[in-house]
Amino acid sequence: MSGAVATNETILVVGGGISGMTAALEAAECGKDVVLVEKNPSLGGRVSQLYKYFPKLCHPTCGMEINLRRIKANKHLRVLTLAEVDKVEGRAGDYTVTIRLRPRYVNENCTACGACADAVSTEIDNPFNYKLNKMKAAYLPFNMAYPQRYVIDSSIIGTPDAEKAKAACKYDAIDLGMKEQTMTLKVGAIVWATGWRPYDAAKIQPYGYDRYDNVITSVEFERMMDPFGPTAGKLVRPSDGKEAKNVAFIQCAGSRDRNHLKHCSRICCMASLKQSTYVNEQFGDQAQSTIYYIDIRAIDRLEDFYQKVRANPTVKFVKSKVANITEDRESSDVILHGVDTEGYHRYDNRHDLCVLAVGMEPSVDARGIPGGVHADASGFLEADAANGAIFGAGCATNALDVNRAVQSATAASLRAIQVINKVSGAEV
């Protein structure tokens, strides 16, 4: 859809995660023309990589299916994937945006039959699984991927494998000559919803994420629960594949720490509480979870969930910022060292696996957003009159849970509509 026509009554939404999809859909369902751009080959964003949501323990792909149905049914909304915004010029009500489209090497003829993946032998890291496993270099990003269209990884372009993929395709869907393209769009308002990324756990040196196999991040833990994930849905230790029944969760891994992220990432307490239920889901009463925390931040009715987990005898809470982690060479067990501040006891606790509840940082530093917007010290986009008609939505603006991200996106959508209605002179 590179020939998308847009006008200054069009809204551009940047980022196809739940915030971007929401902002785009809410505007499109008000009858506005929307172009949604996503840098990955599929919509879905971070939430599509989660096993369950707190506190309902329902599945994010359920809401995603509804949103995809809404997208499929809406003629006002156009989706561009593998697309990134390079340049934004102009002003509120009259922007010219330059978008760079990376080649997918697969066109709209693709039926997602999967013949190309069968033909290819090269394997590459699977980014959907945080590179915990490999996948074919011709791939559908994940089961729910939209557009439902394969991707040929650029690393095999020019190799015989790419030719094999092309030969396997009966539908003339593979175009190895595809080149990066740029396109310019006229838009009236922009919703910036580029989301978050997990803080680089390796930077928290005392925890040894880069040294110990059995120290992983909370987002990786989510992927382990997916039956189609890197461990086929089993909670096992990366070091030896042994069942991880005794799991430590370290809160504020990077957050609330001036050496790392100065803000509280809001979701991590609830995420670890939720993940403790995963351990029970797999091992029942054999499960042992220990949550090392400073404050448990289960805001408003999420408190109910906290109380439920607290009543679970297999979950222990230790008020402590863990000082450091060592590894028992022989068993590959991880040993957490620190002081329990409730009564000041020293501890050296042994666990099968340690999950770092890593903080959220903006996926795109707002200081570098084309067009120029107000950024806070952490790189989140801050609302400001000087931003013109560029409105932040979701985790690009702050560390938010899904509920709040969607509220934020809905609000941003209205702010964009206000600009568009002014441009078009629409009076009701």
Partner 1 sequence: MADIKIGAYVCKGCGLGERLNTAQLMTVAQREGKAQVVREHEFLCNSAGISMIKQDIEKEGVNHVVIAACSRRAKTDAFGFDSVAISRANLREGVIWVQPDTDEAKEITQEMAADYVRMGCAEVAKMQIPQINPSHGNNKRILVVGGGISGMTSAIEAAKAGYEVLLVEKTGQLGGWAAKLYRRVPSHEPYADPMETGVPALVRQIEADKRITVHLNSTISRTSGAPGQFSVDISKESGGTSTENVGAVIMASGFEPYDLKKLPELGGGKSPDVVDQAGLEQLARAANGAAIKRPSDGKEIKSVVFVQCAGQRDESGKHLAYCSGHCCNTSIKQAMYFKDSNPNVDAVVVYTDLRTPGNGEDFYRSAQRKGVIFTKGTVSEVVPGAELQVKFKDLILNDDAVAKADLVVLATGMVANSGVDIDTAGGAPNVEGQKEGGESKVVSILNLTYRQGKDLPLLKHGFNDSHFICFPYETRRTGIYSCGPVRRPMDAQQAIEDATGAALKAIQAAENAALGRAAHPRSGDLSFPTFRREGCTQCKRCTVECPFGAIDEDEQRYPQFNESRCRRCGTCMGACPVRVISFENYSVDTVGYQIKSVDIPDQFSEKPRILVLACENDAYPALDMAAMNKIQYSAFARIVPVRCLGSVNTIWINDALTSGYDGVVLMGCQKGDNYQCHFVKGSEMAYYRMSKIDDTLKGMSLEVERVRTCEVAITDIQRAPKIINEMAETIQKIGLSPMKF
Question: In the window 205-264, what residues touch partner 1 (CB under 8 A)?
Answer: 226-228, 256, 262-264
Q: Considering beta carbons, is residue 215 or 298 the nearer one to partner 1? A: 298
- 260-299: contacts with partner 1 (CB under 8 A): 262-264, 266, 295-299
- 1-30: contacts with partner 1 (CB under 8 A): 18, 26, 29-30
Minimum distance of partner 1 from residue 74's CB (angstroms): 7
Integer distance in angstroms from the first to the last C-alpha of the chain?
Answer: 32
Q: Considering beta carbons, is residue 187 or 412 the nearer one to partner 1? A: 412
Per rule CB under 8 A, is residue 404 in the interface with partner 1?
yes
Q: Which of 2, 7, 109, 159 binds partner 1 (CB under 8 A)?
A: 109
Three-class DSSP category at 218: helix
The crossing angle, in degrees rounded to 10, of helices 302-310 and 268-283 is 40
Question: Quick one: which of 329, 157, 23 has its CA closest to 138?
Answer: 157
Query: Segment contacting partner 1 (CB under 8 A): 108-116, 184-192, 203-211, 324-332?
Result: 108-116
Taking the C-alpha atoms of residue 176 and residue 116, their distance in angstroms, rounded to an integer, is: 13
Judge whether 396 and 381 are in contact, CB under 8 Å.
yes
Per rule CB under 8 A, is residue 46 in the interface with partner 1?
no
Q: Considering beta carbons, is residue 130 or 391 the nearer one to partner 1? A: 391
Instruction: Assign 3-class secondary structure to 13-36.
Output: EECCCHHHHHHHHHHHCCCCEEEE
Per rule CB under 8 A, is residue 184 in the interface with partner 1?
no
Question: Quick one: which of 338, 344, 275, 351 has its CA closest to 312?
Answer: 275
Q: Which of 96, 121, 286, 418 binds partner 1 (CB under 8 A)?
A: 418
Residues 6+ apart with CB under 8 A from 348: 335, 336, 337
Query: Segment contacting partner 1 (CB under 8 A): 84-92, 112-120, 161-169, 272-280?
Result: 112-120
Minimum distance of partner 1 from residue 240's CB (angstroms): 26
Q: What are phi and psi of 240, to 5 degrees?
A: -140, 5
Minimum distance of partner 1 from residue 343's CB (angstroms): 5
Judge whether 81 and 110 are in contact, CB under 8 Å.
no
Question: Quick one: which of 20, 33, 108 has its CA closest to 67?
Answer: 20
Minimum distance of partner 1 from residue 301's CB (angstroms): 5
Q: Considering beta carbons, is residue 115 or 156 the nearer one to partner 1? A: 115
Tokens representing 403 are: 């509920």
The crossing angle, in degrees rounded to 10, of helices 18-28 and 60-73 is 30
Q: Considering beta carbons, is residue 290 or 397 the nearer one to partner 1? A: 397
Pairing relationship of beta strands 181-187 and 123-125 according to DSSP bridges: unpaired
Q: HSE on the CB side for 289, CA within 13 Å?
A: 29
How many residues of this chain interact with partner 1, rule: CB under 8 A?
A: 85
* Sequence letter at residue 9: E
* Sequence letter at residue 139: Y
Q: Considering beta carbons, is residue 215 or 291 the nearer one to partner 1? A: 291
Report the run of H or E that residue 317 belongs to, with start and end. strand 315-319
Minimum distance of partner 1 from residue 270's CB (angstroms): 10
Minimum distance of partner 1 from residue 73's CB (angstroms): 5
Contact pattern from residue 69 through residue 88 relative to partner 1, giving x for each residue in contact according to CB under 8 A and a dash for the rest: xx-xxx--------------
Q: Which of 86, 240, 303, 328 binds partner 1 (CB under 8 A)?
A: 303
- 130-169: contacts with partner 1 (CB under 8 A): 140, 143-144, 148
Per rule CB under 8 A, is residue 410 in the interface with partner 1?
yes
- 360-379: contacts with partner 1 (CB under 8 A): 376-377
Minimum distance of partner 1 from residue 330's CB (angstroms): 36
Minimum distance of partner 1 from residue 58's CB (angstroms): 5
Per rule CB under 8 A, is residue 394 in the interface with partner 1?
no
Minimum distance of partner 1 from residue 417's CB (angstroms): 5
Q: Which of 2, 5, 7, 31 binds partner 1 (CB under 8 A)?
A: 31
Question: Quick one: which of 177, 272, 278 has its CA closest to 235?
Answer: 278
Phi-psi region at 312: left, alpha or beta (left = phi > 0; alpha = psi -120 to 50) = beta
Q: Which of 301, 329, 385, 386 binds partner 1 (CB under 8 A)?
A: 301
Taking the C-alpha atoms of residue 219 and residue 267, their distance in angstroms, rounded to an integer, is: 12
Residue bearing tokens 């940082």: 361
Q: Considering beta carbons, is residue 72 or 203 the nearer one to partner 1? A: 72
